[in-house]
Amino acid sequence: MTSIMQSGLSDQSTRPACPEPFALVVGRALAGAAPDEVEAAFRRMGLRPERVERADNAGALIDGRLLRLRFGEVALLAGQASAAAIECADPDHPATSRLAASLPPDWNDAGQAWVFFEEPRIADDRTQSTRLREIFKMQVLLIDLLDASHYFWSPARLWSEAEQFRAAVTEMLASGMPPVLHLIAFRLADSGVGAAVRTRGLALFGGQELEGRMPAGWTVAEMVKRLSRLALDIMLHGPVADARRMRGLNPGEWVSLSPGRGRKDGGATVMVEFGSSF
């Protein structure tokens, strides 16, 4: 059974600090291939591989040859995952969330784990959402090339099944709706006055995270259903600027949004409260 969050855990769980954002893709197709064979495979996919000098971030994430891959206006740095990258993505770490079923025990064997992250770039007129959309399109090609089984997205510290992520990106390209559940983790935590569900990874898209206190009698699934809709709105339309109260998902239900609580990373948390008019 898959899970969209981990219960009873908070974002205070410690874990290694890694450059973000990056994706880690697990696939057997090029495991054991020689570096020149890997380059040839990327070239056949139309990704125009180039060997590049190792940068600081790449040194933390990539083991062996470092390549630049191009797709349209997007350039990603790529290579086999280093021990540090694998540690960052540890599926058994309490700070890691999993939408995917359990990974195979040999997922981190040499040659199966690949890291991809955007090369530092000169500012251009593309929006963040447009740039990330192109990155995810490119990652779908990489999932196909690697015959990938699992996909890790570092800003959310979230594992997904690669085929599910691929299908969600395909849906995004058709409908314009980002694959929220594959890019945002929903974590159950203690707010100090009861159970709450917090997002992780939303700040990359809108500069804010959400925290919703769970009303008595509600299930985690009910909370995630509502918070994911609010997260989608932030991803599509930007951060919540002012406090507001609006109609909720069901008749007679309301939701209150109160932005502005600062976080250590410089972002903000929008406090969410649900209630009923009855």
3 pLDDT band, cuts 50/70/90, is very low
**What pLDDT score was predicted for residue 6?**
47
Question: Does 196 lie in the same domain as 107?
Answer: no
- Whether 1 is in a domain gets the answer no
**What pLDDT score was predicted for residue 1?**
34
**What pLDDT score was predicted for residue 58?**
64
- Whether 52 is in a domain gets the answer yes
- Whether 39 is in a domain gets the answer yes
By CB neighbour count within 10 A (0-12 exposed, 13-18 middle, 19+ buried), where does 79 fall? buried
User: Which of the pair, 31 or 130, is modelled with greater confidence?
Assistant: 31
- Kindly tell me if the per-residue pLDDT of 22 is higher than 90: yes
Q: Which of 151, 180, 209 is the last residue of a domain?
A: 180
Question: Does 157 lie in the same domain as 99?
Answer: yes
Tally of domains within the chain: 2
Q: Which of 180, 215, 246 is the last residue of a domain?
A: 180
User: Which of the pair, 261 or 221, is modelled with greater confidence?
Assistant: 221
Question: Does 79 lie in the same domain as 153?
Answer: yes
10 pLDDT band, cuts 50/70/90, is very low
Summarize pLDDT for 235-276 with one digit per residue, the tens. Answer: 999 999 999 999 988 898 999 999 976 555 556 899 999 998
Question: Does 143 lie in the same domain as 264?
Answer: no
Sequence-separated contacts (24+) of 35-40 with Cβ below 8 Å? 35/64, 35/65, 38/65, 38/67, 39/67
**What pLDDT score was predicted for residue 185?**
96
- Kindly tell me if the per-residue pLDDT of 14 is higher than 50: no
Contact (Cβ atoms closer than 8 angstroms) between residue 257 and residue 244: yes
Token output for 135: 């990155």
- Whether 142 is in a domain gets the answer yes
Question: Does 246 lie in the same domain as 168?
Answer: no
- Whether 10 is in a domain gets the answer no
Contact (Cβ atoms closer than 8 angstroms) between residue 17 and residue 149: no
- Whether 190 is in a domain gets the answer yes
Summarize pLDDT for 93-138 with one digit per residue, the tens. Answer: 999 999 867 898 889 887 899 999 988 765 666 666 778 888 999 9
Summarize pLDDT for 44-82 with one digit per residue, the tens. Answer: 999 999 999 876 666 689 998 999 999 988 899 999 999
Section 222-230 average pLDDT: 96
Order the strands of the 208-213 sheet from edge to edge: 185-190, 195-200, 208-213, 268-276, 253-262, 244-247
CB atoms within 10 A of CB 240: 21
Question: Does 231 lie in the same domain as 150?
Answer: no
Question: Does 94 lie in the same domain as 171?
Answer: yes
Helix (H, G, I), strand (E, B) or coil at 198: strand
Question: Does 77 lie in the same domain as 44?
Answer: yes
Question: Does 163 lie in the same domain as 233?
Answer: no
16 pLDDT band, cuts 50/70/90, is low
Residue 45: domain span:
23-180
Question: Does 176 lie in the same domain as 198?
Answer: no
Alpha helix stretches (DSSP H) within the chain: 35-44, 56-61, 83-88, 128-146, 162-175, 180-183, 203-206, 220-237
Summarize pLDDT for 149-205 with one digit per residue, the tens. Answer: 999 999 999 999 999 999 999 999 999 899 999 999 999 987 777 899 999 999 999
- Whether 4 is in a domain gets the answer no
**What pLDDT score was predicted for residue 190?**
79
Q: Which of 150, 180, 210 is the last residue of a domain?
A: 180
Question: Does 42 lie in the same domain as 158?
Answer: yes
**What pLDDT score was predicted for residue 277?**
72
**What pLDDT score was predicted for residue 133?**
86
Question: Does 155 lie in the same domain as 198?
Answer: no
119: closest CA among 174, 27, 52, 33? Answer: 52
- Whether 110 is in a domain gets the answer yes
Helix/strand/coil (H, E, C) string of 92-143?
CCCCCEECCCCCCCCCCCCCCEEEEEECCCCCCCCCHHHHHHHHHHHHHHHH
